[in-house]
Each structure stands twice: as C-alpha cells, then as structure tokens.
Structure 1
Amino acid sequence: MRALTSRRSKAHAAENKADPAPSRLKYRVQRWMLTPGIRMGLRVGLPVCAILAAAGGYLASEARRDHLVGLYTEARAAFETRPEFMVNVMAIDGAGESVATDIREVTSLDLPLSSFDLDLAAIRDLIVGLDPVKTAAVRIRPGGILQVDVVERQPAIVWRSRDGLALLDETGAFVAELGQRGLHPNLPLIAGRGADRAAVEALKLFAAARPLGERLRGIVRVGERRWDVVLDRGQRIQLPVERPVAALERVIAVSEVKDLLERDVAIVDLRLPTRLTVRMNAPAVEDWWRIRQLNESSY
C-alpha cells in the first residue's frame, strides 16, 4: 500500500506542474511583435512622435517661435553679408558712355549689396529692355564686382516717319532718335509707314542699287506692301510686291544698256512684273506731242 500511494502522489505532482507552452494571447502578441512594420514603428515611429510632441509643445508659445525666427534671421543675415558675398561695384563693358549711364539708371542698384539680394536674370532683362542694347550678360566676378557685358545695336539705316528720324539696326529694331539727317549722312534712308518692319528687305534693295551711286536718294514703303526707289531729278522706280530685288536689278540692267534712267523719265513702273511701263516728264511729253504735230503737218 505504501508503494502504490507513493506512485499516485508522484503522478499527481507531475500533472500539477506548469505547462511551458505560452498561452494563446501571449503567442499572438509575440507574433505581432515580430511583424516588420510593427518593429519599425516601435523603433522609429515612437521616438519621432515623441520628438514631434516635444517640439509642438515648445513651439506652442508665440514668444518662443518669435525667438527662433529672430535667431534664424540673424544667422542668415550674418552669413549673407560676409565680405566674400558682398558686391561693391558695377563694371560695364561694351557700352558707350550714354548707354552705360542709362544702364546704371535703369538698374538703380544701391551698392554695396549682398549677392544673395541680386536677381541677375531680372537685371539682365532690364538692360536688354533698353533700345540701344542688343544683348547683355550679367555675372558676379570675384572681388565683389557685378560685371555687365553689353553688345550695342549698330545703326544700319535711317527711318523717316511721321514722328521724325530714327536709327534702326540691320533687323529693323529701334536704336535711337535722330535729330538731323546730317548726323549720319552715309546711312541709307527709308521712309513710309511700316518701313521699319521690312528693313531687312530694304537693305537688300540698297545693296542691289549700288550701281546707281549718288543718284539714289532713298526708298519709300508704299501701302505697307511694296517699295518705290527714289532717285534724283524726281525719278521713281515702282517695284512689285513679289521679288522687288530682282525687279530693281532688271531696271538697272536695262538702264545700263539703253540709258533708260538717263532719259527724261519720271517713273519706271514695274508693279506688274511682266511689263515695264515708263512715264515721261511733262516737258518731255509736250516735246513729244510737238514733234508729232510737226511730223503730221509735214505730210
């Protein structure tokens, strides 16, 4: 009996011993903690949230925010106004004295200034907006120099309009007002409404009209469509809308062979490219009628 009781007690003790396996809830919690997203959230998310909460609490005070803004502004100003970032002078190359003065006036920079306060693109746009300036480049050179390199428009033609005389470049862009024609006597003269927009074609006509020499006075834009070449003695060559250069070369070739422009001719009309029409001066017409009447009376 004693042995049997001992065996029963040992079996009962083994049954009452704790089960080493985790409970179902504990098992699920452990598995949940092993998820990569959860682990990353606990490792990174919680510290970040804690920092943000602390920062939000600190910045909740307006006085503290103003203090931080003031510190940032002072630090930025101290950095931007360091000597190596300051621009002290403006250097302008490629521009005449009057154009350089206009550039300084239009930019109106109160130097010295920090390079961080200069908008180089805006400064360049202001300079290029000046009539005499064709192109411009703006940069900051070492030593605190604002370098402006300018290419001026070169006058190539004089335009006479209702507003007076003006200088144009080879593209027809406005350069400057011209008080007197005598200031640029060697430049070709164009006139008429819309002549500036056809300056390129006008220069081609002047090149073709070189054989006319000093007889050429200028060319006039008619109806914003075509050109009249004006010569001395009141002569005109009326050119067509299409291919005016070729028509002018044709007239010059005929004149060199038959002395057309040396005669008492008022107008050479080429508005119809296939037909050349000549209009005589009034005295020449009267002489022609007189000669005709004399010939008729002789019969």
Structure 2
Amino acid sequence: MRSPATDPTVGVLLPRDLPADRILPYARRAEELGFGSVWVVEDLGFRGGIAQAAAVLASTGRIRVGIGLLPAGARNVAFAALEIASLAQLFPGRIDVAVGHGMPHWMRSVGQWPRSPLTFLREYVDALRALLRGELTQRRGQYVHLDGVQLDAGALPGIVPDILAGVRGPKSLAVSGEVADGTVLAEPVAPEYARAALGHIAADRPHRLVAYNVASVDADRGTALAAARPALEWIGEPDWHAHIAPLPFADELAALRAGCADREEFVRRLPDDQVARLAVAGTPQEARARLDGLWSAGVTDSVLAPVGPDPVAALESLATVLDAG
C-alpha cells in the first residue's frame, strides 16, 4: 500500500567508495540540484552509516538522508535506538533508516549471522520502532531481550523517523510488511519486481517502497547505456534471482549467464534493451519514463546510483530527470 502522505521522490545514492573529501560536496550538490534525498551506504569494510548520515545532515539544510542499511546483527537494538533518536532530534523530519539482515558472508565473517534471520529481523524492527515511540519495552524474544527499556522523554524525537526493512526475498518482504514502515529494494528494481514485492509485503497500513537503481542519463542513449552496463555485472548471480524472476526475459537472462565464463562476459553480451529495463538509463525523457513506470508500480522513493569515474559530475546529468516530466 502506498502511503497517501508520501509524494514520489527522486534521490541519489552516495557511493560507498567515494573519497572522504568528496562525501560532503556530493551531498551538498545533490541538495542544490533539487534531489529529495541522499542515501548513505553501510557495507563491511567501507564506512559506517550513522557517522556518514550525521555528517551529511549537518552539512546540508533540506535534503532527507537515508541510511541503507544497518545490519541488525551489528548493533544492539537499544543502542541503535539511541543513535537514531539522536539524529532525529537534531535533524527533525530529515532521516530515514533501513535495517536488514546484512550480506550473509559479511555477517558470518564477524560471527553475527543468526540461525533464523527472519525471526531476528522481525523482533529487531518491532523493538526498534517501539523504543523510538517512547514505549516502555519488554521483549523476551528468541534474539531480542529488553527488560523494561525506555528512552528518556528528553531523548525522544519530535518526529519519529520511518524504520524500513532492506530485504529482497518473499519471506523477508512479508516480515517487512508486518513490522516496518517501508521496504528498501536493492538494485535492480523494474516495475515487475516492485509489483511482485508489494504482493509479498501485503501491508495493511501505509508502507513506503524505496527502489534503488543504477542510473545513467545522457542526451545520447547509446552513451548512457554503455555507462550503465558495467554496474549490472552482478545481476546474473543467484543472489539477484528475486529481482530478475518477475521479468519477461528472466529465462533468457539466466541462459545468457549460464553460457558466459564470467560476469564480465555476461554484462558485455547483455542486450541493450535489457540494460534499459534493468537500469534507469537513456535520454532524460527515457529515464523519466522509467521513473514514472516505477511510481505507477507502487514505488514511493526512487534512488539513483550514479555510474562512472566521477559521481559528483554524474549528479549533473542525473538531475535532468527532475525536469523531464
């Protein structure tokens, strides 16, 4: 269910490997260009999501900042609530937080992969939302244990941030529909995948749907598709099956990947028309049409991941979709 209070927005992803001295200029330029949000990334071995979000919020004045995503196993839920509530107090109405399982091999490498990831996520998001609402929280779950924990009245945010679940599979999507304020879908998100995801989410209250997509915009369609192509090399791997399965060319794509020696060959042979369906790529008008298709499918927030050697410069071309409607 799309939230009636949420207008479709276009945001940008802050690349996880952006040099440190370019992070704040990137965020400020995204705000100047009129993007509605900037989403920071927390990936093992790169940078922390909460620290990046705090810096970006402090260096901008309007743009919303999303954290995508915090692995539930990495932080005790009560202390995660402290951090999130602090950001929400300092920057009211400007923060969104996505929580997820985390990549299994990353979480296993730090000894934090639960035996039942679905149970853990359900317990974690439910407790986190309760704490941020100021509830005296008692939980005796399989993983989350809280004995009368409550945020002090002076620490509660005036505007409680949305807590979203960053998930992809059908069972995890159903959990998101039960306990979260929205769902973040990793790239690629085509309209078919968005509709399938919403079918699994089946929320009975307003629920945001945030869609990440590789994005490349240029006056020349071929140039835009060529730039987007390398960023799609992973989509033939098993972890991305949920994203691809609803597409009409899913079997064709799987056969192509099976016939290629590696990801580089696969993405090189990927047909242009499929690249255009798997990314927000093309002329400004074509890219805007892709965004309109996502909104029609139920997406409330589109997040564009820039490609190429200079992400800050890429923001300029991506911004052309804001006025191409």
TM-score (normalizing by structure 2)? 0.20
* Structure whose residues are more often strand by fraction: 1
Larger radius of gyration: 1
TM-score (normalizing by structure 1)? 0.21
Considering Cα pairs closer than 8 Å and 6+ residues apart, tell me whether 1 or 2 has the greater RCO.
2
